[in-house]
Amino acid sequence: MESNLKKRFSVFMWLSILFFLFVILTFPQWITFFYPQPHRDLVFSAAYEYGIDPYLVFAIIRAESKYQSEARSPAGARGLMQIMPETACWIAEQQGISDFNPDELNNPETNIRFGCWYLASLKQEFAGCVPLMIAAYNAGRGKVNEWVVNKKWDGDLQELEKIPFAETRRYVRNVIKNYKAYRAIYAGS
């Protein structure tokens, strides 16, 4: 009986070691399942055009739509980067696009380009402070400017609890987690 138990334990130990080695040796391959790069060429093209880190774009897409180009929020935000139709119309106007239709937000190319343009405008407004950019993407630039001016939150990741909106606190945490993961997985390759 004791010999049988030792054999089982030995087999279990060897299987555990093999599994551990498999995980370590294939880490980059299996982790990409959880952090894919959908529409990679579109993301990289638009991100570079507007001076945005493409991994931040992927992090936002993951948080906003879970990579679903037809996603629609209860508030009406649409597409991969969950852009509100009013915001999209403003972006189109800023870009000199006169015949924009909000239904185009379900088109990945339009959605990603508009999302990257918007992030670039937030980057400029918030002097490249990524946490403030992310918060503004969620809560709106006006609210985040208000928080900064009233010294409620200055973008410090160590003080996320100071963000007045619980939803925005969770959103910033989630996008930062996604962003760190994307950078760790892909930035070196």
**Token reading at 134:** 């992310």
Whole-angstrom distance, CA of residue 47 vs CA of residue 91: 16
Q: Is 185 helix (H, G, I), strand (E, B) or coil?
A: helix
Q: Is 72 helix (H, G, I), strand (E, B) or coil?
A: strand
Choose, from 49, 64, 104, 161, the residue flagged as catalytic.
Answer: 64
| 8 Å CB contact between 176 and 131 | yes
Whole-angstrom distance, CA of residue 108 vs CA of residue 106: 6
Give residues with Cβ within 8 angstroms of 177, minimum separation 6.
none
Q: Is 64 a known active-site residue?
A: yes
Whole-angstrom distance, CA of residue 29 vs CA of residue 39: 18
Q: List residues with catalytic annotation.
A: 64
